[in-house]
Amino acid sequence: MLEPRKMSRLLIAGTKAEMGGVIADLYRRRLFHIEDFVGQEEYAGFRLGMPLAGATEASNELLKIRAATNAFGVHADGGPAPHRLSPAELRRSLQTELPEVDAQADELVTRRARLETRQKDLESRIAELQPFATVPIPMDLYRGYDSLAVLAGHVPADVTITAPHEKEYAGGKKGGFLVVFTPIGDRDAVERQLLDAGFAAVRIPDETGMPADAIARYQTEQASVEKELEGIGRQLAGLSELHASFLLAADELLSAEVEQAEAPLRFAVTDQTFVAEGWVPTADLPDIKASLERITGGKIHIEELPIDYDHDAVPVEYNNPRFAHPSELLVDLMSRPRYNEIDPTLLVSIVFPLFFGIILGDVGYGIVLLAMSFGLRRYLKGEAGNQLLDTLRNSSIAAIIFGLIYSEFFGVELPWKPLVFSRHLGIGSAAEAGAHGPDAAAMLIVSIWIGILHITLGRVLSIVNHARMDHGSHRTKAILAQTGWLAFMWGILVVIWSMYPIPLMLDLSAIGDVVAPIGLRPFGIIGIAMILYGMVAIGQENKLDLFELPTVISHVLSYARLLAVGLSSVAIALVTNYIALDLIVRPQLAALSPVGVVIIIVGILVLLIGHVVNLALGLLGSGLNSLRLHYVEFFTKFYKGGGRKYIPFGMKRLYTSEE
Amino acid sequence: MVDVSSAVLTAEMIQASQAGLKAVGAGLAVGLAGIGTGLGEMGIGAAAMGATAENRDMFGLALLFTVIPETIVIFGLVVALLLLFS
């Protein structure tokens, strides 16, 4: 808890004869994070290993499988298959089915490519012919002259040509199309005059007959090509359905084979031996040792190496109780924690839903979001999707609980008064009844309290982190600076408390008399001393940090969003209810008429749209603001991140069973 | 023409105009703060998008940078709420 899983650095050495067995066992267990061999100094005389036998064949087959997968448009949905194929069965069907599937895919894709080329060709031919369709001359007459030159192209307007010629002009909205026949001797003169008039020549297509007929002919062909392509698309979709499970399973099996066969590329080898370095969770160490020794009959050397935290990047795997697991997504979104720093996932998993609930706090919206977090599971698969929806589930439960406390159901008051603070604004019928507004000031103070405590917690965690990760004088300085930040923040609070009585906060303003020359009460002087100590403690670590002092105030005040964002969402809900129910529906219900029914339906639509929009805003606002309070205000106090992900050698099988 | 010099301000009128000015002030607080936040997030958001497009791992950090100016509008909102309700 609050710490990543303990890792041990392992060195495995053995003869090359054992390498295949060792790799297969490590792959199956999925615990060994391989440290790539990159020619480190202590490995003088070693070189990179070569892939195991069978790597090339497996790669080739994998290539064919992937080609077919692409051709058929097979998509993995991320979830495990309903029934998994056994590797032996799959290998048999790879022998029999793969050549056939591959041939089918190849044939269809080639045909499709040919048809698509033809389609493009037809399109460009039609486009070329289109302007000539406006000129009533068969295409044969444009070619085959010895003494005549033919020019065709677009002009902005009709052109008067002085040289001997014969022309056909067809005008259109955006300029016209011009065809000019002229004796070869006058070609230059005609061209010059045409260019002056803005003539843009086009190629004369190599066709016969009237242009309109040619276009019609091509369009018919186009339609048939289109039909054929559709047929191929249907065939591919059919094949995709037929072979999807086989292709996905085969892809998985072969990927596993290739990964295992290529593992020696990450090992150091000599002619007869191999050495693999890597990381395993300390708890699994005895297991791995025992199983490797059993497989090789004891002919292997396994040694646990000492860890040098300053130089070794230890891979980090979370170690959290089950309910905190979804929040790992939120922490990973920022950055994986380092190996020897505090992992804040557990805190996030508690505080994030809490903030979300405080902001949203509505039973109705909470229930809708809770239903969404279950309903969306069908579409959002894979681990990250599940984590996201689990976070949403926890958050919406918190929103429901706070909704009960605030007594809110889609903005409407539940049958009881709000238990602690009221967030109901005097809008609509409530205003007429003279209801008093929300307890904005009290809630603001509570929000600030939450901020003060959250930030204090962050600073305390930072002290722990510095104590663990730093060395020597730097450690002392860094820890002192953190106490300085704490003293500065609490010092400001003490000074304020000593001057003004604030509800829900400590009242120090009545204690002691004002000390004449300073103008402060005794606690005010203590507060000033704390502030001064804070500044000195911060400055001794890094003087530039003193410029950051105002963030103490802005970060604490930033927690006011817990109140502000929530109240604005309540306001939208109340206004929606007021407009839809009070202004549109209720007057019609008083005297029902056919038109009134239509207006009532409109009112219900307004109600629905308003609440859907507000729900979307509430989800975004509550989620993002809660996340922001963690990332900006909380994490910046202690969290470094940048740890290396623990990626064990092996594969989570979704489509095939273990051998 | 209304003779301004002879107009009499009753206590109700003063109260009403006070309430009205409060509402205007609240509106200005949120609106102007919103414009400020928008201007701040404009540049950051564009750069954050670019960084995320180049490297997906930047997303968390990019989000963090983008929402930093948002505090301004929250302050505006808090001021508005305090004006209206306390």
Residues A497-519 have pLDDT tens digits of 988 888 888 888 888 777 777 77
pLDDT grade for A45, boundaries at 50, 70 and 90: confident
Apex A633 CA angle, B36 and A354, nearest 5? 105
Please tell me the distance in Å from A624's CA to the nearest CA on chain B: 9
pLDDT at B36 over 90: yes
Contacts of A558 in chain B (CB under 8 A): 71, 74
H-state helical runs in chain B: 11-54, 59-67, 70-85
Please judge whether B71 and A440 are an interchain contact, meaning their C-beta atoms are less than 8 angstroms apart.
Answer: no
pLDDT grade for B37, boundaries at 50, 70 and 90: very high
Residue A627: closest C-alpha in chain B = B64
pLDDT at A434 over 70: no
pLDDT at A274 over 60: yes
Residues 6+ apart with CB under 8 A from A11: A275, A276, A277, A301, A302, A303, A304, A305
Nearest to A420 by CA among A436, A449, A442, A451: A442
B44 in reach of chain A (CB within 8 A): no
Three-class SS string for A493-519?
Answer: HHHHHHHCCCCCCCCCCCCCCCECCCC
Percent of chain A scored above 90 by pLDDT? 31
Pairing of strands A33-35, A176-183: unpaired
Apex A63 CA angle, A57 and A66, nearest 5? 140
Q: Are A637 and A461 in contact (CB under 8 A)?
A: yes
**Two structure tokens written together for A639:** 């969290």
Please judge whether B74 and A334 are an interchain contact, meaning their C-beta atoms are less than 8 angstroms apart.
Answer: no
pLDDT grade for A392, boundaries at 50, 70 and 90: very high
Q: Residue A9 and residue A27: Cα distance in Å, rounded?
A: 17
Burial A174-199 (b: 16+ CB within 10 A, else e): eebbbbbbbeeeebeebbebbeeeeb
Q: Residue A560 and residue A558: Cα distance in Å, rounded?
A: 5
Residues A284-327 have pLDDT tens digits of 999 989 998 898 888 889 988 888 877 788 999 999 998 899 99
Residue A331: closest C-alpha in chain B = B60
**Could you give the angle at which helices A594-628 and A561-577 cross, rounded to 10 degrees?**
170
Residues A446-468 have pLDDT tens digits of 999 999 999 999 999 999 999 98
Identify the residue among A328, A427, A561 best suited for mutation to test binding to B, counting B beta carbons within 10 A and taking the highest.
A561
Please tell me the distance in Å from A412's CA to the nearest CA on chain B: 19
Residue B81: closest C-alpha in chain A = A440
Nearest to B60 among A335, A444, A568 (CB): A335
Please judge whether B64 and A563 are an interchain contact, meaning their C-beta atoms are less than 8 angstroms apart.
Answer: no
Q: Look-up: residue for tokens 């292709």?
A: A247
Residues 6+ apart with CB under 8 A from A30: A648, A649, A650, A651, A652
Which pLDDT does position B86 carry in this prediction?
A: 65
A335 in reach of chain B (CB within 8 A): yes
Nearest to A131 by CA among A177, A197, A199: A177
Q: Are B80 and B29 in contact (CB under 8 A)?
A: yes
Please judge whether A624 and B81 are an interchain contact, meaning their C-beta atoms are less than 8 angstroms apart.
Answer: no
Q: Are A371 and A615 in contact (CB under 8 A)?
A: no
Q: Is A54 left (phi over 0), alpha (psi -120 to 50) or beta?
A: left
Q: Is A398 left (phi over 0), alpha (psi -120 to 50) or beta?
A: alpha
Please tell me the distance in Å from A555's CA to the nearest CA on chain B: 9
A348 in reach of chain B (CB within 8 A): no
Pairing of strands A200-201, A148-155: antiparallel
Which pLDDT does position A556 carry in this prediction?
A: 93
DSSP A551: H
Please judge whether A565 and B86 are an interchain contact, meaning their C-beta atoms are less than 8 angstroms apart.
Answer: no
Per-residue pLDDT, averaged over A181-199, amounts to: 86
Percent of chain A scored above 70 by pLDDT? 97
**Could you give the angle at which helices A594-628 and A382-406 cross, rounded to 10 degrees?**
110
pLDDT grade for A359, boundaries at 50, 70 and 90: very high
Which pLDDT does position A659 carry in this prediction?
A: 62
Residues A81-103 have pLDDT tens digits of 777 778 888 888 888 888 888 88
Please tell me the distance in Å from A330's CA to the nearest CA on chain B: 9
